Amino acid sequence: MYNLCLLGFGNVNQTLARLLKDREHELRDRHGISFRITGVATRHLGWIADPDGLDIARLEKASVERAPSPAKSWESNQKPQNVRDWLKAAQADILFEATSLNVLTGQPAIDHIRAALQHGAHAITANKGPIVHAHRELRDLAAKQGKRFLFESTVMDGVPIFSLFNQLPAIHLQGFHGIVNSTTNVILSEMENGLSFDESLKKAQTLGIAETDATHDIDGWDAAVKTAALITVLMDVPVRLEDIHREGIRELTTNAVRNGHRDGWPFKLVCRAQRVGDSVKASVMPEKVLSSSPMGKISGTSSYIYFETDIFPGLAITEENPGLYATAYGMLADFVRAATA
C-alpha cells in the first residue's frame, strides 16, 4: 500500500486524484499497486495529513469553495508546519509535486523534492524548474536514497519523451526542434484569422488556454525552460536559461501573421537545440515554417518535437490537442514506473 502526497492541489493534482480513482482497480489488478492519498498541501488548506487516508472529494470541495479544511483535526503540537513534518505525518511513500513554476530559481519546488527524497519517498513532479536548476543534484540524491525522481509531465504533458530515451541505450542525441508551447499556437491561429495580438490573447484566456498572466508563454519563457529541460536530461549538458536565445511572439503584428499564413509560411514559436562540440546551441523564437511541413500543420493546443540522433536520423512525436488528463497521466505513469522498478 503506497501512501501518496499531493503538493499543490490545483487543476493538475486534482485531475490526477480523479484519474487515480478511475484507474484504481486496473493499477491493483494489472500492476499489483494499491494506494491511498494521505497528504494534501496548498496555501489555502495548509499541510493536511492523515496516514489512514483523506477524503479527496471533500478536500476538492473545500478547495473550490475556499472553505476550512475538512480533514482530521490535529493537536497544535502535532499539526504539520512544513513540508518535512507533513511528509512524516502522512507517512509518505510518493510525493506528487505540482506547484507553480519559478523560472529563475526553480524554488521552492527543488526544496520540496529534496525533502521528499531525504524522507525516503519517490518524487514525481510536473514542475520544469527543478529539472533546469537542480537535475543532477536531485538525480544523484534519488540514486543514493534508492528512490526515483521522475518528471514525465514537464514537457508535452504525458507523452513519454524522457522514458522513451531511457529505453534507447547508447544512443546519442545530436539535436532537436519543435513546438512545445500550445498557448502561442492558439494566439497565432487567432491572429491568422484577423484578431490583434491583444484580442487573441484575451480569447485564449477566456477559453482557459492562457493564464491570466501569460508572460511565461508569450515571451518564450515556458518554451525556453522546456528546451533547457530536454537539453539537460537527454543531452546531458547543463544549460542556463540565459544561454538560450529567446524571443517571444509579442512583437508580431497581425498583418505579418496573416500574410505568412496566406503565403503558406505561417509563424510558429519554434525551439531548437544543436550539439556543437561539448556544448549545445539553443534558441526559442518565432519562425516562418512551410505550411505543409509537420510543424506547419501544428495548431490549437497540439505540440511537436523532432529528434536527431546518431542512429535514427529523424524521430518525431506529435501530440494532438491534449487536456489536463494528459498531464495527470504523465504523473500516474511515473507512479507506476516508481512502484514497479
Enter the DSSP assignment of 179.
E
**CATH 3.40.50.720 location in the chain:** 2-158+324-340
Is residue 149 within 8 A of residue 232, CB to CB? The reply is: no
CATH superfamily assigned to domain 173-319: Dihydrodipicolinate Reductase; domain 2 (3.30.360.10)
Is residue 45 within 8 A of residue 60, CB to CB? The reply is: no
pLDDT tens per residue, range 254-309: 999 999 999 999 999 999 999 999 999 999 999 999 999 999 999 888 999 999 99
Is residue 158 within 8 A of residue 326, CB to CB? The reply is: yes
Using CA atoms in the order 309, 280, 156, 147, what is the torsion angle rounded to 10 degrees? 90
Q: Which CATH architecture has domain 2-158+324-340?
A: 3-Layer(aba) Sandwich (3.40)
Q: Where are the beta strands (DSSP E) in 143-292?
A: 149-150, 173-179, 245-246, 267-276, 279-288
Q: What is the DSSP string of 254-287?
A: HHHHHHHHHTT--EEEEEEEEEETTEEEEEEEEE
pLDDT tens per residue, range 185-220: 999 999 999 999 999 999 989 888 888 889 999 999
pTM exceeds 0.85: yes
pLDDT tens per residue, range 30-70: 999 999 999 999 988 899 999 999 988 888 877 665 555 55
